[in-house]
């Protein structure tokens, strides 16, 4: 009897987690109009570990973004159509949520330690940081969309830009938390909100800062982190 009750409790917790993922994906897509697509997830069968310390569901032993990238469907399929989002997360209820950047929202990311420094510096200067996502290895700052020309001008004004600072614009992607809100429970090792998205009474989508208000603090903090050639989440 205890074994049956334990099994029921486990299934109930799994259903709650799956509902949270679908609800989060629908909030991002339908309310905020952020284009999303299912991520590949982690490989539960074990095997060789990827760069982030966990085996990726794509089965590439050297996957640079284990569990945090789209495969099938690909990034070009990202959408805010509620019917498609429901179908994806009903078919794959455990799939991570991946945001396609560039049209409604872009991002910049730093290694986690440097990201904490950048966030502290931004807020000490009196700027609003906007939504910030923490993954096991990086901090992702969500910002208003920017063009390559705009980004180029900003970076050209800097003496040196660390390669540990990455920009996610048109054609890029970043992982999103499986729940909306900092108070929501998040599984260990999964993306979580450090600064929750905030919407005003007359705003459909969260407020996003412009990249030029953050770039100085991001560059300075990025200099404290070692450079690398792999974007590991």
Q: How confident is the model at residue 102 (pLDDT cuts 50, 70, 90)?
A: very high
Residue range 55-78: average pLDDT? 83
Highest mean pLDDT of the ranges 13-27, 37-51, 140-154: 140-154
45 pLDDT above the threshold of 70: no
pLDDT, averaged across the chain: 82
pLDDT at 233 over 70: no
* 108 φ/ψ sector (left φ>0, alpha ψ -120 to 50, else beta): beta
Check residue 229 and report its DSSP letter: S
Burial class (CB in 10 A: 0-12, 13-18, 19+), 84: middle
Structure confidence by residue, pLDDT tens digits, 141-174: 999 999 888 888 888 888 888 888 899 999 999 9
Secondary structure, 3-state, 184-201: CCCCCCCCEEEECCCCCC
Confidence band for 17, pLDDT divided at 50, 70 and 90: very low
The answer, yes or no, to whether residue 203 has pLDDT greater than 80, is: no
Confidence (pLDDT) at 62? 79
Q: Is the pLDDT of residue 191 over 50?
A: yes
Which of 27-31, 61-65, 147-151 has the weakest average pLDDT? 61-65
Name which of 74-88, 98-112, 187-201 the model is least confident about. Answer: 187-201
Place 211 in a pLDDT band, splitting at 50, 70 and 90. very high
Percent of the chain with pLDDT over 90: 47
Q: In 10 A of CB 64, how many CB atoms?
A: 17
């Amino acid at each position: 009897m205890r074994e049956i009750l334990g099994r029921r409790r486990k299934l109930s917790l799994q259903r709650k987690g799956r509902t949270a993922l679908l609800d989060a994906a629908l909030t991002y897509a339908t309310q905020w109009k952020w284009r999303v697509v299912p991520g590949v997830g982690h490989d539960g069968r074990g095997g060789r570990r990827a760069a982030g310390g966990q085996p990726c569901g794509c089965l590439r032993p050297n996957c640079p973004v284990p569990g945090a990238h789209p495969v099938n469907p690909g990034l070009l399929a990202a959408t805010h159509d509620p019917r498609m989002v429901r179908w994806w997360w009903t078919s794959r209820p455990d799939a991570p949520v991946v945001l396609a950047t560039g049209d409604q929202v872009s991002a910049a990311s730093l290694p986690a330690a440097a990201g904490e420094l950048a966030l502290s510096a931004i807020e000490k200067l009196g700027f609003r940081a906007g939504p910030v996502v923490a993954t096991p290895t990086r901090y992702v700052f969500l910002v208003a969309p920017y063009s390559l020309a705009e980004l180029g001008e900003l970076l050209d004004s800097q003496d040196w830009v660390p390669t540990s600072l990455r920009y996610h614009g048109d054609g890029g992607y970043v992982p999103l938390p499986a729940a909306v809100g900092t108070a929501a429970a998040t599984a260990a090792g999964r993306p979580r909100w450090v600064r929750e998205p905030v919407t005003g009474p007359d705003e459909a989508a969260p407020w996003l800062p412009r990249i030029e208000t953050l770039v100085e603090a991001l560059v300075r903090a990025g200099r404290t982190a070692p450079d690398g050639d792999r974007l590991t989440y």
